[in-house]
Amino acid sequence: MTGKEVVDLLDEIYPKIRTHLSHENPFQLLVATVLSAQSTDVQINKVTPKLFAQFPDAKSMSRAPIRELERLVKSSGFFHVKARRIKEISKHIIEDFHGEVPDSMETLLTLPGIGRKTANIVLSAGYGKIEGIAVDTHVFRLSRRIGLSQSATPEKIEIDLMKITPKNLWPRLSILLIFHGRQICFARSPLCSKCLLNSKCVYFKNLQDKAKNLGSS
């Protein structure tokens, strides 16, 4: 199966949006994406309105008292680490990029703790630029399960997906796999019978083969 085939099939059931993270500009998207680690978009969207009301840009956030940041992001989980991270990132944006979130993969990766996944989200949803495919836990799991890639790292899976998917569909493939991972293709007990991809899915084929072997033994 190719990336385009996945997009064509899943486009039938998922909305055409870029990200569920609420944001008004690239800085807010960057911060929300950092906060979303080990959390959910729904939870982060409850956190960020109060956070951005007090600290709407890199300048104000870079000067924010760490205890206040921790209080505001506490419900996102790992709040000690996340509060320090968004403050540190904000300082770098002020010092190195004149207060503006950088708009290239190379420069985004110079920010503390920012990897390709976050950079790809900011570039595609924040700037409308396509430089890669955001590989989160859902994209990682589904790519291997469906048979799009057998690589063992997010970086290598991203390369594999880029090879089998037209560039203009890279952001869409990522968001569709994320939606599908949340709705159908769970880490445990995926709903294979309800999946539009099951006729071409390696995981589902293996399940069927095992069932046949058990039935014939």
| Residue from 123, 106, 90 nearest 19 by CA | 123
Active-site residue identified among 117, 129, 194, 205: 117
The answer to whether the CB of 175 falls within 8 A of the CB of 41 is: no
Active-site hit among 136, 163, 167, 200:
136
Q: What is the DSSP string of 104-168?
A: SHHHHTTSTT--HHHHHHIIIIIH---SS----HHHHHHHHHHTS---SSHHHHHHHHHHTS-GG
- Count of beta carbons in the 10 Å neighbourhood of residue 16: 8
What is the spatial distance between Cα 103 and Cα 3, in angstroms, rounded to a whole number? 25
Is residue 57 annotated as a catalytic residue, yes or no?
no
Known catalytic membership, residue 136:
yes
Answer for the pair 15, 206: CB distance below 8 angstroms, yes or no: no
How many whole angstroms separate alpha carbon 190 and alpha carbon 158?
23
Give the residue numbers annotated as catalytic, written as ranges: 117, 136
